[in-house]
Amino acid sequence: MLDILTYLPAKRKATPGGWLSFNAVCCTHNGNTQDRRQRGGIKQTEQGWSYHCFNCAYTASFILGRNLSFKARRLLTWLGVPEAEIERTNLESMRHRSINGILQERRQTFDILAGITFPEFELPAFSEVCTPEHVEQWQYLRNRSAPLDYPFMVSGEENPYKGTSRSRPYVIVPFTYDNSVVGYTQRFLDDRTPRYINQTPPGYVFGTDLQHDSWTHVLVTEGIFDALTIGGLAVMHNTISDSQARLIRSLDRDVVVVPDQDAAGMELVDRAVELNWAVSMPEWPEGCKDVNDAVIKLGKLGTVLTIMQARETSKIKIEMRKKWLLKKF
């Protein structure tokens, strides 16, 4: 692991609080004058380090198991750490990612909703968090525009079947709730069947713990990757069960249901109307059948904009749009 101390200016002093102070390296990059009073400080922690500048107020930190942040990368560059060394540090850090660490890191707004709980569920043995070193899986996630900070899992090095005909390449999307894993979907990346295995607790809605405090709307989609790519929810069917509806309502947001644009998806529309929720069936580019397709073509922001613009609450207008779409299928 990168020893940051070897890159600090030679002139430094230790403080009783465990900080090393030296002339800060950040200030001139932030429009301030060069620090000459040793106002930059770094403190090593059990799993990394923190940097603080009392001259220009720049801060950065690093914890093993996390991605190197933009601010930490800039600081390392200013300290003169070579680019290749920074990349190596990041890769090594990613190797230390663990699903428990990632779940603990999340500042979750919602823990247990409406008193609904789900039992904890074991991931398949030998699973480990997907990193750029799992080339095939990482590429698959990138191709689907998945948020790469989500704890996707893959078959680990320890798997005794790894590399044999009994092991197929896959990506696991853990289903999380209240900081624990309560199920998962396992997507195989080869052409064999089954293409995926789902372990879903009854009544579960994917993505409740991905919602942010400040969001006023919640977008309800069918598929896991639809939800992941726009920060929405996935009901994982073309209908919404009563207990799922209860969970979604408990978020206390303006609900917008975004169905797949195919015949089956139109059943989700009927259910949304029944629940008195808004529906959005945007006009997407040719060939886009669902949110994930749209995100790949239009990007996350572009897709969310089309969804919000096509948001409809009038039952008559929803029905008209549905009929118009049904003629296209």
* Residue 60, number of CB atoms within 10 A of its CB: 21
Shortest CB 56 distance to Zn ion, Å: 3
Question: Are 275 and 243 contacting, i.e. CB atoms less than 8 angstroms apart?
Answer: no
CA geometry: angle at 7 spanning 3 and 9, to 5°?
140
> Considering beta carbons, is residue 26 or 219 the nearer one to Zn ion?
26
> Considering beta carbons, is residue 75 or 269 the nearer one to Zn ion?
75
| Residue 137 binds to Zn ion (criterion: CB under 5 A) | no
> Considering beta carbons, is residue 57 or 112 the nearer one to Zn ion?
57
* Residue 162, number of CB atoms within 10 A of its CB: 12
Question: Are 53 and 32 contacting, i.e. CB atoms less than 8 angstroms apart?
Answer: no
Candidates 2, 4, 8, 24: give the one binding Zn ion (CB under 5 A): 24
| Residue 27 binds to Zn ion (criterion: CB under 5 A) | yes
Annotate each residue in 89-128 with x if it binds Zn ion (CB under 5 A) or - if it does not, as one string. ----------------------------------------
Shortest CB 54 distance to Zn ion, Å: 8
Question: Are 182 and 203 contacting, i.e. CB atoms less than 8 angstroms apart?
Answer: no
Three-state SS at 278: strand
How far is residue 47's CA from residue 108's CA, in Å, rounded to a whole number?
22
| Residue 26 binds to Zn ion (criterion: CB under 5 A) | yes
> Considering beta carbons, is residue 56 or 146 the nearer one to Zn ion?
56
- Segment contacting Zn ion by CB under 5 A, of 19-27, 125-133, 215-223, 300-308: 19-27
> Considering beta carbons, is residue 28 or 139 the nearer one to Zn ion?
28
**Which among 39, 29, 31, 30 has a CA at the least distance from the CA of 9?**
39
> Considering beta carbons, is residue 57 or 320 the nearer one to Zn ion?
57
**Which among 176, 170, 169, 133 has a CA at the least distance from the CA of 151?**
176
How far is residue 49's CA from residue 11's CA, in Å, rounded to a whole number?
19
Question: Are 97 and 67 contacting, i.e. CB atoms less than 8 angstroms apart?
Answer: no
| Residue 75 binds to Zn ion (criterion: CB under 5 A) | no
| Residue 292 binds to Zn ion (criterion: CB under 5 A) | no
In the DSSP assignment, the letter for residue 211 is -
Shortest CB 43 distance to Zn ion, Å: 16
**Interacting positions 42-61 with Zn ion (CB under 5 A):** 53, 55-56, 58
Shortest CB 57 distance to Zn ion, Å: 7
Question: Are 137 and 169 contacting, i.e. CB atoms less than 8 angstroms apart?
Answer: yes
> Considering beta carbons, is residue 27 or 94 the nearer one to Zn ion?
27
Q: Can you give the binding site for Zn ion, defined by CB under 5 A?
A: 24, 26-27, 53, 55-56, 58
